[in-house]
Chain A
Amino acid sequence: MPVFATLTYDTAHLLDAGMLVVSFALLYQRRLFGVLKTYAVQALLLSAAAAWQAHAQAAPQLYITAAVALIFKAIIIPLALHRIIVQLNIHRAIETALGIGPTLMVGVALVALSIWLVLPVTAASGALTRESLASALSVVLLGLLIMITRRNAVSQVVGFMSLENGLILAAVGVKGMPLVVELSIAFEVMIAFIIFGIFFFHIRERFDTLDVHDIDRFRGERP
């Protein structure tokens, strides 16, 4: 099949798969700093994927998305979260609702699910778009899994940002999608505001013991 031999396809495919593997690596981590570093790697890969798509689709506005992903997500956010963890003395081991092994298994099931969902309905699109979309949905679902199986607020946020990475991957993978830059920036703004709004100012003002673990106290319904 000739399409596989082209450099464009191979590199894009490599970057998409790389992001997926890094999502699994995120599930695998046991320490908070490990999670941050892995997330930074994922953002780097996303930036590379966006830049490659900008080159392959001749869509120069995607270079902006790549730059935003690189500067903001790969550098600023991990550094800021690192500072928050250190300053607020947040509990640094990850506690999971499911063991790491079963979580990884569920992750594989989710990948299979997203492939099963995406491939049949996108029969009309090119092979690269289909695989991109399947990988992107897998990253989104894995991000969701991370959010569900983690008790620590910081790791939930990282899960959410990983989910967002998957979405941006989907957006750059679809050929010619307009407004990708605007959408991704809007998402970044929301995350930045909320993370730093809620975490930084409110928690620091409010709590004497600066353990974010406390936030999970009322997990169930309260009457």
Chain B
Amino acid sequence: MNPVLFILGFPGAAAVLLALLPDYRLAARLNVAASLLTLLASAVPFIHRPETTPFLLIDDFNIYLVALTAFVAFTTSLFSARYVLHEVEIGRLLPRYLRFYHAMYQAFVLTMLAALTANNLGVLWVAIEGATLTTVLMVGLYRTHAALEAAWKYFILCGVGIALALFGTILMYLAAEPVMGEGLRAMTWSELLPRVAAFNPALLNLAFVFLLVGYGTKVGLAPLHAWLPDAHAEGPTPISAVLSGLLLNVALYSVLRFKMLLAANPQAVAPGPLMVTMGLTSLLLASFMLYRRRDIKRLFAYSSIEHMGIITFAFGMGGALANFAGLLHMTMHSLTKSAIFYAVGYISQIKGTQRIAEISGLTASQPVLGWALVLGVVAIAGLPPFGVFMSEFLVLTTSFARAPVLAVLVLAGLLIGFGALVLRLQGLAFGEGTGGEKVSNAALLPAFVHLALVLAAGIYLPAPLVSWFQTVAKLLG
């Protein structure tokens, strides 16, 4: 029995069940249970690698991404369970919305895992489209004016993005068809890779441009990032956590799959420079924008744009070391950003506001929460000994070696972003406490687990993980 079917089956079944379940407390627990089962299922391919079918594929690249996704989905479900229950208590959410929310959550996890394990380009597209759909509906959950506008913007921008990605997919099929004949085979990624050198390079180029722009919108690359801050700020915090932590990764994964195809055709234009440009633009734009943010979730949303910019830049540079750095950064960012959003979620719940100006002295009034935030921001800002420092350092060293001018720009962006985050952190975490109830330590456990992992990765990366990243880095070209 193909273990991937379980990885996809658990969230799918859970989504259906949760749609039918009226009791929201039970639903929250079921959500956690389903995520745990999915996490356990995602560990199975490590033991016994399933075979590649025309629709499903597990290879070195996505095996750890699947595990990472399942893990963060699980910890977020833990956070979500407490968070939404409290939201119902304070009256910000109605219980009947929660039924929808939990069902959509599992559906979203299903679509992300389907995108990660898809071997067929069409299925990949449908999965990403499904992920867009579920998150759009969840962003609008609070049904306030701002939430509806954020959902609408998200829908319009990402809808156009995936439409363009579909066109790119059609062009890719058109390029494959003369060599591989009609039918499903010409859309199967594992079949395409060995034969892509025979495809028409001009057509491949055009296809990749559409795919980069299309899926790149979902990654949040500038100038297509406009949906990201609003979606993060107006949606429920667990959704912000999975958007930043997981969806951006999955979208970038799709882009990378196509990059791998293009890299195998020597006459096709190198996709690197395009990705480098977009990555650098995102990094610089987001770093500057960090200074003007007045809303805490928007602040960290721009931080996500910044980091996806760094990752795209790294993959654009290419080569074993840069790819390794990119993969490491994907993982670290995913864990750190979701931890930060867990903390931010509780903060905004306790303080009743998301405006930075109205939040201060967290380490005084809620020490555990405050210090969690401090650690998270320190981690994401790229300070050692956290793992983010390691990956940023690797990115810088490779780019200094190959393109010093770009490296200077990257460094400038990183420093600007660092400054903004530290500035805001001062105001948020230190100074006079403004009161408010305390959060139990257990509630913050997921955040601390993430941060511990990031810290551990920064100090010592276990050898199997290193060799893994290296294998994939080679695959990426």
Which of the 9-residue segments A14-22, A39-47, A89-97, A180-188 touches chain B?
Answer: A180-188
The verdict on A5 contacting chain B, using a C-beta distance below 8 Å, is: no
| Interface positions of A from 17 to 34, Cβ below 8 Å from B | none
- Residue interface bits A88-131, CB-to-B below 8 A is 1, else 0: 00000000000000000000000000000110111111000100
Which of the 9-residue segments B32-40, B152-160, B463-471 touches chain A?
Answer: B152-160
The verdict on B105 contacting chain A, using a C-beta distance below 8 Å, is: no
Are B129's CB and A140's CB within 8 A?
no
Are B160's CB and A175's CB within 8 A?
no
In the assembled complex, how far is the CB of residue A58 from the closest CB belonging to chain B, in whole angstroms?
A: 11
In Å, the complex CA distance between A113 and B34 comes to 49
Q: A121-B203, A190-B133 are in contact. Are A198 and B155 (CB under 8 A)?
A: yes
Among B123, B151, B156, B167, point to the contact of A167 (Cβ < 8 A): B167
Q: Which residue of B lies closest to A191 (CB)?
A: B159
Are A194's CB and B202's CB within 8 A?
no
In the assembled complex, how far is the CB of residue B100 from the closest CB belonging to chain A, in whole angstroms?
A: 10
The verdict on B125 contacting chain A, using a C-beta distance below 8 Å, is: yes
* A194 neighbours in B (Cβ, 8 Å): 133, 136-137, 155, 159
| Interface positions of B from 85 to 130, Cβ below 8 Å from A | 120, 122-123, 125-126, 129-130
Q: Which residue of A lies closest to B293 (CB)?
A: A223
In the assembled complex, how far is the CB of residue A219 from the closest CB belonging to chain B, in whole angstroms?
A: 9
Among A176, A189, A190, A203, point to the contact of B159 (Cβ < 8 A): A190
In the assembled complex, how far is the CB of residue A117 from the closest CB belonging to chain B, in whole angstroms?
A: 7
Q: A190-B132, A203-B148 are in contact. Are A182 and B126 (CB under 8 A)?
A: yes
| B interface residue count range (under 10 / 10 to 19 / 20 to 34 / 35 or more) | 35 or more
* A117 neighbours in B (Cβ, 8 Å): 206
Q: Which residue of B lies closest to A180 (CB)?
A: B122
In Å, the complex CA distance between A215 and B170 comes to 34
Q: Which residue of B lies closest to A207 (CB)?
A: B145
- Residue interface bits A154-179, CB-to-B below 8 A is 1, else 0: 00100010011001001100111111
In the assembled complex, how far is the CB of residue A202 from the closest CB belonging to chain B, in whole angstroms?
A: 5
The verdict on B140 contacting chain A, using a C-beta distance below 8 Å, is: yes
Are A137's CB and B137's CB within 8 A?
no
In Å, the complex CA distance between A31 and B151 comes to 26
Are B149's CB and A218's CB within 8 A?
yes
The verdict on A147 contacting chain B, using a C-beta distance below 8 Å, is: yes
In Å, the complex CA distance between A197 and B137 comes to 8
Are A183's CB and B178's CB within 8 A?
no
Among A144, A190, A203, A221, point to the contact of B160 (Cβ < 8 A): A144
* B177 neighbours in A (Cβ, 8 Å): 174-176
Are B148's CB and A170's CB within 8 A?
no
In the assembled complex, how far is the CB of residue A141 from the closest CB belonging to chain B, in whole angstroms?
A: 10
* B159 neighbours in A (Cβ, 8 Å): 160, 190, 194
Among A118, A167, A217, point to the contact of B166 (Cβ < 8 A): A167
Are A121's CB and B149's CB within 8 A?
no
Are A174's CB and B173's CB within 8 A?
yes
Which secondary structure dominates chain A's binding surface? Answer: helix
Are B129's CB and A160's CB within 8 A?
no
The verdict on B143 contacting chain A, using a C-beta distance below 8 Å, is: yes
Q: Which residue of A lies closest to B144 (CB)?
A: A206
In Å, the complex CA distance between A120 and B171 comes to 13
Are B163's CB and A156's CB within 8 A?
no
Are B126's CB and A193's CB within 8 A?
no
Are A176's CB and B182's CB within 8 A?
yes
Are B156's CB and A156's CB within 8 A?
yes
Are A179's CB and B184's CB within 8 A?
yes
In the assembled complex, how far is the CB of residue A155 from the closest CB belonging to chain B, in whole angstroms?
A: 12
In Å, the complex CA distance between A215 and B293 comes to 22
* A144 neighbours in B (Cβ, 8 Å): 160
In Å, the complex CA distance between A118 and B173 comes to 14
In the assembled complex, how far is the CB of residue A128 from the closest CB belonging to chain B, in whole angstroms?
A: 13
- Residue interface bits B276-313, CB-to-A below 8 A is 1, else 0: 00000000000000001111001000000000000000
Q: Which residue of A lies closest to B187 (CB)?
A: A178
Are B143's CB and A202's CB within 8 A?
yes
In Å, the complex CA distance between A203 and B351 comes to 29
In Å, the complex CA distance between A121 and B126 comes to 26
* B186 neighbours in A (Cβ, 8 Å): 178
* B130 neighbours in A (Cβ, 8 Å): 186, 190
In the assembled complex, how far is the CB of residue A157 from the closest CB belonging to chain B, in whole angstroms?
A: 9
* A202 neighbours in B (Cβ, 8 Å): 140, 143, 148
Q: Which residue of B lies closest to A218 (CB)?
A: B149
Are A137's CB and B129's CB within 8 A?
no
Q: A133-B174, A182-B122, A206-B148 are in contact. Are A163 and B155 (CB under 8 A)?
A: no
The 6 closest A-B pairs by CB, nearest first: A176-B182, A179-B122, A121-B202, A223-B294, A186-B126, A121-B203
- Interchain residue pairs with CB less than 8 A apart (13): A121-B205, A123-B200, A153-B152, A163-B160, A174-B177, A176-B182, A177-B182, A190-B133, A193-B137, A215-B148, A217-B149, A218-B146, A222-B230
Other A-B pairs, 19, CB within 8 Å; known A140-B164, A164-B163: A117-B206, A153-B152, A167-B166, A176-B182, A177-B173, A178-B122, A182-B126, A187-B129, A190-B133, A194-B133, A194-B136, A194-B155, A197-B140, A198-B155, A206-B143, A206-B144, A206-B148, A217-B145, A223-B293
